[in-house]
Amino acid sequence: MSLKVEDVMVEDVITVEAGATVRKAVSLMNQNEIGCLIVVKQGKAIGILTERDMLTRVLAQGRDPERTRVSEVMSAPLVVADPDMELEEAARLMFKMKVKKLPVVTNGQLIGLITLTDLARFQPQIIKILKKAHAVNQAPKRMQKVVDYYIA
């Protein structure tokens, strides 16, 4: 039996409206103790806002978090996984697209989130999958910490 994304994904995904301020997004992330938010517009997932996005596109550029909208600094287009996708395929997609988080979407609806860390700590079988993906696509610097800690 091969494991699927739906077997590992987190279902309680916190979202933020595209028009919300970065200040509101930071507050949501702090409240929920999370490192990313899925950005939605009219109920549809259109992007992702990560701590890295805020460091590079808000703080480093001296933008005002009270006036900057999430849609201005989010990462888009969204790279997504299907719930039926095998974990090996999801890991390959993360390495290929250089992302650590994959929103899980079915019929256009956000139903979950799977992260590189989720994959790495799930079970030893996943470590083998990640090692294979890492051998094919070298991890970018921002993924290296997870790779070094859980995989290498």
Question: Nearest 5°: phi and psi at 81?
Answer: -115, 155
Mean confidence (pLDDT) of the chain: 88
Using pLDDT thresholds of 50, 70 and 90, give the confidence band for residue 37. Answer: very high
Is-contact 26 16, C-beta < 8 A?
A: no
Using pLDDT thresholds of 50, 70 and 90, give the confidence band for residue 126. Answer: low
Q: Is the pLDDT of residue 8 over 80?
A: yes
At residue 84, the pLDDT reads 96
Rounded CA separation 3/45 (Å): 25
At residue 2, the pLDDT reads 75
Give residue limits of the domains in the chain. Answer: 5-151
Using pLDDT thresholds of 50, 70 and 90, give the confidence band for residue 123. Answer: low
Give pTM, 2 decimals.
0.79
Q: Is the dihedral of CA 140, 142, 147, 149 positive or negative?
A: positive
**Rounded average pLDDT over 62-77:** 97
At residue 152, the pLDDT reads 61
- CATH class, 5-151 region: alpha beta
Q: Is the pLDDT of residue 86 over 70?
A: yes
Of 13-17, 35-39, 129-133, the poorest mean pLDDT is in 129-133
Rounded CA separation 2/112 (Å): 19
In 36-108, DSSP assigns E strands to 36-41, 44-50, 101-106
Of 53-62, 64-73, 87-96, the poorest mean pLDDT is in 87-96
Instruction: Write out the two tokens for 10.
Output: 């987190």
> pLDDT by residue (tens digit) across 133-147?
767 676 667 777 777
